[in-house]
């Protein structure tokens, strides 16, 4: 069976869940082979082997992180040419989509973004137009390059050889055209990562203030072990950081449970959460379009319903 390359996203060797999901998906298409680069790549090998990677291509060049996207593209282009994989699977993140786009040009292949499933014959399923339409698409030229959304498939623990193959990379002139001079992190909350969380508790304009997020939304999220999300109305008002915006211009989430509070359900918000498996809504306006997506909804004031709900859940 041909190899399927999986691009690994990690922080100092700590592998992001989405990459493990992609290994599980790759197993349906061929032999999973992980590609991991940058400082800490070594530390990722064992985890990748434990999740089905028959081969782990390791590029320990720490400078890959110093330039926007291009080093990873150069590395993958080299591997695609040398190994002729059946496909390349890449997480659908900001970097992931741009890597996919440039790689497609470099190796003259078709590219599909934001797949939620990939069949054995390479046919990808995408939810387009904010999830309203389901499309089946296939790369018809070159090596299929497919970016896959987080939470599309469950990671599988399956011990594989995880044979380490070191790959050398020279940082190209094209890569050196940009230099990352500083990295600024918003405070880590200790909550699950928004795009990977299995439960998301979101707040919108109805939350009313940053204080409302701290006293009503976050406690419920913590009681459920959930990530916190926000509508654009809430991030624009400065009540919650932009990183947590769900929707067309924020994150696309597909959790098991999405709890929408004080959110009307504008088409741009739905675009980011429409594929959630179960949706619970609290909104005081019975006519709010978000109720159309609700599996369970309460017409009421979130400022009374949510604290009470948090109390019940905490027992």
Partner 1 sequence: MNICVCVKQVPDSWAEKKLSASDSTLDRAAAERVINELDEYAIEEALRIVEAQGGEVTILSMGPAEAVDSVRKAISMGANSGIHIVDDALHGSDAIATSLVLAKALEGRGFDLILFGSESTDARMSVVPAMVAARLNLPQMTFASKVEVAGESLTIHRTTDYGYDEVTSSLPAVVSVVEKINEPRYPSFKNIMAAKKAPIDTLSLSDIGVDAGSVGLATAWSQVSSFADRPAKPAGTVVQDEGNGAAKIAEFLTAQKFV
Q: Which residues of the chain form contacts with ligand FAD (CB under 6 A)?
A: 204-206, 231-234, 245-250, 262-264, 266, 268-269, 272, 282-285, 288, 301-303
To which residue do tokens 């890597």 refer?
A: 99
Nearest approach, Cβ of residue 161 and partner 1 (Å) = 31
Nearest approach, Cβ of residue 55 and partner 1 (Å) = 27
Select from 48-56, 81-89, 105-113, 152-160 the region that touches partner 1 (CB under 8 A): 105-113
Interaction of residue 140 with partner 1, rule CB under 8 A: yes
Interatomic CA distance for residues 130 and 202, integer angstroms? 18
- Per the CB < 8 A criterion, the answer to whether 253 and 197 are in contact is yes
Three-state DSSP class for 113?
strand
Nearby residues of 155 by Cβ (< 8 Å), 6 or more positions away: 17, 20, 21, 23, 24, 51
* Cα–chain center distance at 158: 22
**247-306: contacts with partner 1 (CB under 8 A):** 248-249, 256-257, 267-268, 274, 278-282, 286, 291-301, 304-306
Interatomic CA distance for residues 141 and 122, integer angstroms? 12
Interatomic CA distance for residues 55 and 306, integer angstroms? 48
Interatomic CA distance for residues 108 and 106, integer angstroms? 6
Interaction of residue 109 with partner 1, rule CB under 8 A: yes
Instruction: Give the interface size with partner 1 as a residue count (CB under 8 A).
Output: 87
Interatomic CA distance for residues 81 and 3, integer angstroms? 13
What is the helix (H) or strand (E) element at residue 56, kind and residue range? strand 55-59
- Nearer to partner 1 (CB atom), residue 39 or residue 46: 39
User: Quick one: angle between helices 94-106 and 70-83, nearest 10?
Assistant: 50
Residue 303 site contact among partner 1, ligand FAD, none (CB < 5 to 8 Å, cut-off depends on kind): ligand FAD
Q: Contacting partner 1 (CB under 8 A), which of 30, 38, 85, 131? A: 131
Interaction of residue 105 with partner 1, rule CB under 8 A: yes
- Nearer to ligand FAD (CB atom), residue 88 or residue 227: 227
**207-246: contacts with partner 1 (CB under 8 A):** 224, 242-243
Nearest approach, Cβ of residue 158 and partner 1 (Å) = 25
- Nearer to ligand FAD (CB atom), residue 45 or residue 233: 233
Interaction of residue 87 with partner 1, rule CB under 8 A: no
Count Cβ atoms below 10 Å from residue 154 Cβ, excluding itself: 10
Q: DSSP assignment, residue 290?
A: G
Nearest approach, Cβ of residue 230 and partner 1 (Å) = 13
Interaction of residue 182 with partner 1, rule CB under 8 A: yes
Nearest approach, Cβ of residue 189 and ligand FAD (Å) = 19
* Cα–chain center distance at 213: 23
Interaction of residue 120 with partner 1, rule CB under 8 A: no
Residue 206 site contact among ligand FAD, partner 1, none (CB < 5 to 8 Å, cut-off depends on kind): ligand FAD
Interaction of residue 137 with partner 1, rule CB under 8 A: yes
Interaction of residue 112 with partner 1, rule CB under 8 A: yes
Interatomic CA distance for residues 169 and 159, integer angstroms? 28
Beta strand pairing status for 111-118 and 163-166? unpaired
């Amino acid at each position: 069976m041909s190899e399927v390359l999986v691009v690994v996203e990690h922080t100092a060797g700590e592998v992001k869940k989405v990459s493990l999901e992609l290994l599980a998906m790759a197993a349906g298409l061929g032999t999973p082979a992980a590609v991991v680069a940058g400082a800490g790549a070594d530390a990722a090998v064992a985890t990748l082997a434990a999740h089905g990677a028959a081969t782990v291509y390791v590029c320990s060049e720490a400078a890959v992180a110093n330039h926007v996207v291009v080093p990873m593209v150069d590395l993958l282009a080299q591997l695609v040419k040398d190994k002729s994989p059946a496909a390349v699977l890449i997480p659908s993140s900001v970097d992931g989509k741009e890597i996919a786009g440039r790689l497609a040009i470099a190796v003259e292949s078709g590219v599909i973004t934001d797949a939620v499933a990939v069949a054995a014959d390479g046919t990808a399923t995408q939810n387009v137009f904010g999830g309203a339409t389901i499309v089946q698409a296939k790369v018809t030229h070159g090596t299929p390059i497919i970016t896959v959304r987080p939470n599309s498939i469950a990671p599988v623990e399956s011990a594989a050889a995880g044979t380490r193959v070191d790959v050398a990379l020279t940082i190209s002139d094209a890569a050196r055209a940009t230099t990352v001079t500083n990295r600024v992190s918003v405070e880590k909350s200790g909550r699950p990562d928004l795009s990977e969380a299995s439960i998301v508790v979101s707040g919108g304009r109805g939350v009313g203030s940053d204080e409302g997020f701290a006293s009503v939304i976050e406690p419920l999220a913590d009681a459920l072990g959930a990530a916190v999300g926000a509508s654009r109305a809430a991030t624009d008002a400065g009540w919650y950081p932009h990183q947590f915006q769900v929707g067309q211009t924020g994150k696309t989430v597909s959790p098991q449970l999405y709890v929408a509070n004080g959110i009307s359900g504008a088409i741009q918000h739905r675009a980011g959460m429409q594929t959630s498996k179960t949706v619970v809504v609290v909104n005081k306006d019975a006519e709010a379009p978000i109720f159309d997506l609700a599996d369970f909804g309460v017409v009421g004031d979130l400022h009374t319903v949510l604290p009470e709900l948090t109390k019940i859940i905490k027992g």
